[in-house]
Amino acid sequence: QVQLVESGGGLVQPGGSLRLSCRASGSTFRFDAMGWYRQPSGKQRELVAAVTRGGTTNYADSVKGRVTISRDSTKGPVYLQMNSLKPEDTAVYYCWSSLTGNNYWGQGTQVTVSS
């Protein structure tokens, strides 16, 4: 059973920064890929950023240059560092992992960007 637990969400002003963390049961390096999706209220869930076991990263165009995904070199968390946040970044952010063709999701953490 794979369990993913997110932390680090909250309320931040436009232009501010947040770092989200995702901890998994067992080593995060056993996953084929891990990443973050987000779902704004009333909209579909969308990819924010992902990283493969080999270290290849992928970012949504809307966050390129503002967001960095990273993973600990051991069994530590996967992080999403978000800078220069905008109101349109407001959403529930979900940690995601892929393992042998199966997808796993965390319960989500709310990020609200507002003055």
Q: Phi/psi zone of residue 63: left (φ > 0), alpha (ψ -120 to 50 degrees), beta?
A: alpha
Above 90 in pLDDT, residue 2? no
pLDDT in tens, 3-15: 999 999 999 999 9
pLDDT in tens, 40-99: 999 999 999 999 988 899 999 999 999 999 987 666 789 999 999 999 999 999 999 999
Q: In one letter, which amino acid is 13?
A: Q
Q: Which pLDDT does position 27 carry in this prediction?
A: 75
Main-chain phi, psi angles of 41, to 5 degrees? -60, 125
